[in-house]
Amino acid sequence: MAMTSATNEALTPLAESGRVFRWHDHLSLWFSLGVGLLVMQIGAYLVPAVGTRDALLAIVLGSCIGAGLLAWTARLGCESGLASAGLMHATYGSAFARLPVVLNIVQLIGWTTFELVIMREGTQAIGKQALGGALESGLGGVLTTLLWGAVLLALLAGSMVTLVRRFVSRFGLPLVLLSLLWLSWQFAVQLQAKGLEAFWSRPGDGSMGLFGALDLVIAMPVSWLPLVADYARHGRRSGGGLGGAFSGTWLGYALANIWCYGLGVMVASAAEPGSNLVTALLLAQGGLVALGLILIDELDNAYGDVYSGSVSAHSLQPRWSVKRWGLLLAVLCIGFALVLPMHTLEPFLLLLSSVFVPLYGVILGRLGTGEAPASAGTRRVDLGAALIWIAGIALYHGCARWAPQLGAAVPALAFTFVLAWFTRRAAAGGPSALVQSRG
């Protein structure tokens, strides 16, 4: 029997009773999601490529721009009460939107699997340091993967709202802050011993320009664009709730992104040549404990990916609840983490992520400059929005191939946003056909 949109939680605006997130909940969630070993690793990659000054400039500018886009989308999700899938339906039409929704599910399965692999490898590195390599065997890898997978399943069996408000805000955030402060202090001392002037004036090797570095920094917050509305819709609309979703998301993610990218730069500059980031962190005084806490925080990245994937999957098949979809996707990701060579699949995941830059350029151009849609919409295909998105993908990859010095994310985002904004009235058939007042 077909299900109506009223029973589809992802395509129906969230009721006021479910809107409980305050400003500090948004800030805590997105600071926590912004912290990760992958972010630090990319920061470490920037230094030899562009040098310290350009790397730090790209980190600050890219983080502010990327987090600003997240915050803008968060405000839209909070205002409308729609999940990410609902915003896609409102922009592209109910039939065509299934394509980006499916692509989003695929990328979220990939990134969740990749997070499990990162946590496994980090745990094995800690085990080597503390236990003499007992976890480095094949069996050790299987056991650590299953351990993190079991914790992920336990979290998914509970409430997302409770997890954010009770664990992330009250316990997770203070522990992560202490870990980052400790590691930052340790590597600042090492850099001071080596000479801060040499660190600050270190040149790049010319393998990447400033705009390319900016593109790489923006890529991390942009990868969260297809998820942010799934959480922001739980924000309060009254009492400054919309501003809370906007400023909390922006400040939380920008601070975490700048800090983790910057820490990666510090680690790469202080560590011995050829040593990897995890090894360098472990060798720092107290690094074993700090890395362990960061690995625990990495778990909420995996949770964030698989929860949002379950919301998107529920939008396609609402007969299964969000929780049921979440458990199924988690089991699938655990299986993939055990058998797939994820490091060789990372370029594919980054390639897949590139389609969401122009996708959200169109969404923000159509919905982000006026009143939020009251529902996911009834039009089956918005041909104009679909064509702009496809043109944006082509521009993104064209810039990456033929003009890498200009970057790809910012040109593709600007192009799709401007076109979508100029064509929004024609697409809606008038000012209020798509963009409706919630009264």
How far is it, in rounded angstroms, from Cα 407 to Cα 393? 13
Q: 135-139, 202-206, 269-273: which has the minimum mean pLDDT?
A: 135-139
Task: Check residue 47 and give its pLDDT.
Answer: 83
Rg (CA), the chain: 21
3-state secondary structure 161-202: HHHHHHHHHHHHHHHHHHHHHHHHHHHHHHHHHHCHHHHHCC
How many other CB atoms are there within 10 angstroms of residue 394's CB atom? Answer: 12
Q: 65-69, 208-212, 244-248: which has the minimum mean pLDDT?
A: 208-212
How far is it, in rounded angstroms, from Cα 91 to Cα 85? 10
| Residue 139 neighbours by CB under 8 Å, 6+ apart | none
How far is it, in rounded angstroms, from Cα 297 to Cα 177? 11
Task: Check residue 436 and give its pLDDT.
Answer: 38
Burial class (CB in 10 A: 0-12, 13-18, 19+), 148: buried
Task: Check residue 327 and give its pLDDT.
Answer: 96
Farthest CA pair distance, the chain? 70
Contact 107, 308 (CB under 8 A): no
163 has pLDDT over 70: yes
Average pLDDT across the chain, whole number = 85
| Dihedral Cα 36, 41, 45, 47, nearest 10 deg | 70
Task: Check residue 153 and give its pLDDT.
Answer: 95
The mean pLDDT of 60-75, rounded to a whole number, is 94
| Residue 365 neighbours by CB under 8 Å, 6+ apart | 416, 417, 418, 419, 420, 421, 424
41 has pLDDT over 80: yes
Sign of CA dihedral 166, 168, 170, 171: positive
CA geometry: angle 132, 134, 138, nearest 5 deg: 140
Per-residue confidence band for 141, with pLDDT thresholds at 50, 70 and 90: confident
Task: Check residue 308 and give its pLDDT.
Answer: 96
Task: Check residue 4 and give its pLDDT.
Answer: 42
Q: What global pTM score does this model have? A: 0.88
| Residue 219 neighbours by CB under 8 Å, 6+ apart | 66, 350, 353, 409
Domain ranges of the chain: 18-353
The mean pLDDT of 298-308, rounded to a whole number, is 91
121 has pLDDT over 60: yes
- Percent of the chain whose predicted confidence (pLDDT) is above 70: 88
Token pair belonging to 227: 């998820």
372 has pLDDT over 70: no
Per-residue confidence band for 323, with pLDDT thresholds at 50, 70 and 90: very high
How far is it, in rounded angstroms, from Cα 269 to Cα 83? 41
The mean pLDDT of 284-312, rounded to a whole number, is 87
How many other CB atoms are there within 10 angstroms of residue 103's CB atom? Answer: 17
3-state class (DSSP) for residue 352:
helix
In tens, the pLDDT along 188-242 reads 999 998 888 888 888 878 778 888 888 888 888 888 999 999 999 999 876 555 6
380 has pLDDT over 90: no
DSSP conformation letters of 37-86: HHHHHHHHHHHHHHBHHHHHHHHHHHHHHHHHHHHHHHHHHHHH---HHH
Residue whose entry in the numeric block shows the structure tokens 């997105």: 30
Q: What are phi and psi of 284, to 5 degrees?
A: -70, 150
Quickly name the fold that domain 18-353 has: Hydantoin permease (1.10.4160)
CA geometry: angle 413, 23, 214, nearest 5 deg: 30
- Percent of the chain whose predicted confidence (pLDDT) is above 90: 47
How far is it, in rounded angstroms, from Cα 39 to Cα 332? 25
